[in-house]
Structure 1
Amino acid sequence: MCTVVARIIQECIKNRGVKVHSIQSRAKDAESFGRRAAIPLEIDPNLPKYKNPLKDITDLAVVRVITHFPGTLADVDSILNEEFDILEKSNKGLALIEEDRFGYQSIHYLLQIKGDRTRLSEYHRFSGAIVEVQLRTILQHAWAEIEHDIQYKSSKTIPTEIRRRFMALAGMLEIADREFQAIQNADQELESHAKSMVQHGNLTGIKITPNSLKFFLDKRLGADGRISSWSYDWTTRLLKDLGFHDLQQVEAAIAPYDDDRLSFLAEGGRQGQTKRFELMLLAALGDGFFDRHPWKYGLFVERWRGFLENSKRKELLRRATWWMAPTNSDTFWIITPHP
């Protein structure tokens, strides 16, 4: 049951483009169930806490969804409400404060697979069955795991010094969760701003990041779905090693060159987006490309230096003069096209 529910959640999250850290599932084993069922009632130890254990113990099948950021919790909550029948929802962080516990943050759901699914033969046997879903961030999960291992169930039973450290740590984790969310929000705002500026052709001051570089190259050289995120990350690091600071400097360097012409000259055909871009950088920087390239030794240099010299001899590339200009603690290339 929990495996099926975990798979449904996984597919829905994937289809919505929501990113989570992990989805876990587990069925309670008989021994664990036995221990839970044998717990006595607090006000009368002669009576069991659970009169009907099979019904009253709701975590026989558990799915745990762990997100990276607090903001993703709402996305997953929306998916659960749309895809399942929610019988109960509780915020354990608020509930456990009233029980004199601290630090534990998690949202728990009791849910069932919807009737339209259970009418299908593959889900029919799960009709009416209840699954507990636990939703938390990765830092909340870390706290829960550590707290469970230390096994202090009430702050009243903890020695004062340890209790103070527990409380400080709980506060630190909550602040860290909020700060990670703030960082993600800021990153998304920067990405959105960069995309808008690139689309409007205003490149001055736009920092070179894998995302901003992709926006720039998609517009400048045409989109290429074959290029991986790793390639944009690598090319971003290359540009910084070469001394570029923003996309305007990149555009100034490659402006005189035709990517398709370079591609056919070097490889005899049209290459991928980032490969054509590197050829433009090579044409623009000349020997400076090799001086700062991380692969500045061996066959790589021999091959591309040969291509560069051959191109110059055939006068198929514009010649360019480059000089180094200091800017604070670093340097960058300035292009001066030859008449």
Structure 2
Amino acid sequence: MSQKIRKRVPENPNSPRYSDPLDQITDLAGVRVITYFLNTVQEVELVISEEFDVIERIDKSEAFEKDQRLGYQSLHLLVKLKGNRCALPEYARFTGLTAEIQVRTILQHAWAEIEHDIQYKAVYTLPSETKRRFMALAGALEIADREFQAIAKTDRKLRDAALKSVAEDRLSGVEITPEALKAYLDKRYGADGRMSDYSYTYTVRLLKALGFTDLNELSDFLNGYDHDRISRALYGSRQGQLTRFEDALMVAAGREFLNRHPWGNRAGNEWFANSIEHRLKTAEEAGFSVGNGRLPNRQDDSGKG
């Protein structure tokens, strides 16, 4: 802030830019909000407009040429607390305070910080070659921002379509993802609020190691294996959702489950192999058809039949 106060008028280096800094500088108090996506900038602006009185809105991308900045895009809002907020004792002392809120994407933020660091602010101070490269990079960053937004939109659309397919029992072609797997297991095995997002992510990695690619393939593989009965046979009680699911996989796959499991062939994991062997033996003694399911061919097994 002290550097800003000491700034001079470009046309007259002997004249300070701010004759009354405390009154003229509007960002004595401020905050910066950094988002991942472009549309979130608009969402944040909407929230700000609902919570504060916006007295000035400056879109730096619209002032691109006027400010002679290269690639600098950011939304700047000058705000004051609303009257109902200032009426509260804890906020009364901020009555009349003007603050600045900057909202930008993470790519816009990276650009602004780098530009500020190397002090390439004005177009006319740059060599032509440097200027061209800055302009090209500015365009690339803008394209990247838009592409990230498009990717996020497409990803959400695909996720929603997958969840709808699971709800309607149309599992063919539904890729196994943590979100889709949770929806599938919640419907088939009952919801279990104790399970974390990481638990489903780990289970997806296990399924991919076993060779599964879509939910229909997985559902067919487990057909005929009662997860509740298997759980009670192995433990004497009904276990949690993912434990029942993994044990049903294990019983259906038999010893091949251990061969393909990420922990199966690691040195020092004999305890894990012994645990699998013990549960498989218990399942066999309980009358389950162990190993009747045929695991899908993995990519590195292609051509082996």
Amino acid across the alignment from 1:300: F
Partner of 1:279: 247
* 1:313 paired to 2:285: yes
CA–CA distance in structure 2, aligned partners of residues 330 and 85 of structure 1: 64
* Cα deviations by residue, 1:21-54 (Å, 9 ceiling, x for unpaired): xxxxxxx4xxx1xx43343445555654323211
**3-state secondary structure, aligned to 1:65:** strand
Instruction: Give the alignment partner of residue 115 of structure 1, picking from 72, 83, 105.
Output: 83
Instruction: Give the alignment partner of residue 53 of structure 1, picking from 10, 17, 21.
Output: 21
1:70/1:178 contact within 8 Å kept = yes
Cα RMSD after superposing both structures: 2.1
TM-score normalised by structure 1 residue count: 0.83
**3-state secondary structure, aligned to 1:321:** coil
CA–CA distance in structure 1, aligned partners of residues 84 and 147 of structure 2: 41
Instruction: Give the alignment partner of residue 298 of structure 1, picking from 261, 267, 270.
Output: 270
* 1:154 paired to 2:122: yes
TM-score normalised by structure 2 residue count: 0.91
Provide closer, same or farther for how the CA distance between residues 44 and 168 of structure 1 changes in structure 2, counting only shifts above 3 A.
closer
Q: CA deviation at 1:90?
A: 0.8
Q: CA deviation at 1:172?
A: 1.5
Q: CA deviation at 1:149?
A: 0.6
Q: Is there any run of 5+ residues in structure 1 with no aligned partner, and where?
A: 1-27, 335-339
Percent identity (aligned): 47
Q: Is there any run of 5+ residues in structure 2 with no aligned partner, and where?
A: none
CA–CA distance in structure 1, aligned partners of residues 282 and 298 of structure 2: 34
* 1:173 paired to 2:141: yes
Partner of 1:77: 45
CA–CA distance in structure 1, aligned partners of residues 113 and 296 of structure 2: 54
Task: Map 1:92-241; keep pairs closer than 5 Å.
Answer: 92-241=60-209
> Which stretch has the larger CA shift, 240-249 or 268-277?
268-277
CA–CA distance in structure 1, aligned partners of residues 102 and 68 of structure 2: 21
2:69/2:121 contact within 8 Å kept = yes
Amino acid across the alignment from 1:261: R
Amino acid across the alignment from 1:302: N
2:52/2:81 contact within 8 Å kept = yes
Amino acid across the alignment from 2:54: I
1:256/1:318 contact within 8 Å kept = no
2:172/2:216 contact within 8 Å kept = yes
> Which stretch has the larger CA shift, 270-279 or 322-331?
322-331
CA–CA distance in structure 1, aligned partners of residues 43 and 189 of structure 2: 35
2:28/2:99 contact within 8 Å kept = yes
Provide closer, same or farther for how the CA distance between residues 49 and 66 of structure 1 changes in structure 2, counting only shifts above 3 A.
same
> Which stretch has the larger CA shift, 318-327 or 305-314?
318-327
Amino acid across the alignment from 1:176: A
CA–CA distance in structure 1, aligned partners of residues 48 and 79 of structure 2: 9
Aligned residues: 300
CA–CA distance in structure 1, aligned partners of residues 203 and 47 of structure 2: 37
* 1:62 paired to 2:34: no
CA–CA distance in structure 2, aligned partners of residues 122 and 240 of structure 1: 55
